[in-house]
Amino acid sequence: MRRRRLTVVLLGIIAALAIPALSGAAPIPGNTITPQGFFRFCADAQETIANVDSAKLTENGGDFTITNSLYKSLDDFVYSKSSVTTATKKINDSQWTLYEDAQQTQPKLLRCKLRTGESFTAGAWPNGSTNNSARFVVEPAYGFGSAGTGLSTNPSTDQQCRVVNQATIDNVWGSLSNGQKNSAVYNPTSSNLPSANANTLVTVADTVVFDGPGWTPSVAAITTSGSVAQVGSRALVANSNSTGNPRFEGAHYCTLVAPEFLKRVILGQVAPS
């Protein structure tokens, strides 16, 4: 994942403040492609999860774009699906944020609906396949067919969601001052610090489910095991042509810790939850 995710820590709260005033019936308009930080979180995660060759993205002179639709309504987000638009070579992801507070100013956990790397070279759905309903209809294609060749540098094996969480830990820790690190309650490094032993903040392997009802229920952003804070992820993985229901396939979904919440936990401002 590229270093621009460092901006998430600073931009997340600012971006979140704008969300409550917007309608939850549809993706938040105007913030799905260009903005960085908070608005790009799942789009950046897509690159990591599917081993995307960044040289093939339009921002680096390539032909492909990763879009990111933000949903305020959890119900709408549940109905949404990750997808592709083959004519314009777009990967379409969805993002929803769980907040600590009723005012929705303190992000805690993000849900990202992404695409699998193997789906990029898959073609159209079988004729007669059922699509989503109404405004959630997507193009009936797993991926871009032969046009998607090389878009993933390792299409046979996606990264775990924990890799994104680890990048978030690294980025948040790297943004702290020496004073903050020395007073931290949890420590992701291999060296003891004045207030926290080494390796007391870790990621754990993804909990993988295979359908929406298994992925949608509430999940903790950070748990504890003794004195160790554990950042986990509930992942849904359904490769192309794997379930007999194409609208659910080519999907790699992740729950991911919000950088702002992680920082607050590290500094002892809130407890893991």
Helix (H, G, I), strand (E, B) or coil at 74: helix
Strand ranges inside the chain, DSSP E: 65-71, 83-85, 90-99, 107-115, 201-203, 207-209, 222-225, 228-231, 234-238, 251-257
Residues 83 and 70 sit within 8 Å (Cβ to Cβ): no
**25, pLDDT greater than 70:** no
Structure confidence by residue, pLDDT tens digits, 158-215:
999 999 999 999 999 999 999 999 999 999 999 999 999 999 999 999 999 999 999 9
Strand ranges inside 11-148, DSSP E: 65-71, 83-85, 90-99, 107-115
**36, pLDDT greater than 60:** no
Q: In what order do the strands lie in the sheet with 228-231?
A: 201-203, 228-231, 222-225
Task: For 139-191, give the secondary structure using H, E and C.
Answer: CCECCCHHHHCCCECCCCCCCCHHHHHHHHHHHHHHHCCHHHHHCCCCCCCCC
The answer to whether the predicted template modeling score (pTM) of the entire model surpasses 0.85 is yes
Residue percentage of the chain with pLDDT more than 90: 85
Average pLDDT rounded to a whole number, residues 56-71: 96
- From residue 213, alpha-carbon distances to 94, 129, 217 in Å are 17, 21, 7
Phi, psi of 93 (to 5 degrees): -105, 165
- From residue 262, alpha-carbon distances to 7, 48, 110, 223 in Å are 14, 20, 12, 11
Residue 71's contacts (CB-CB under 8 Å, 6 or more residues apart) are: 24, 27, 28, 77, 80, 94, 95, 96
Structure confidence by residue, pLDDT tens digits, 130-142:
999 999 999 999 9
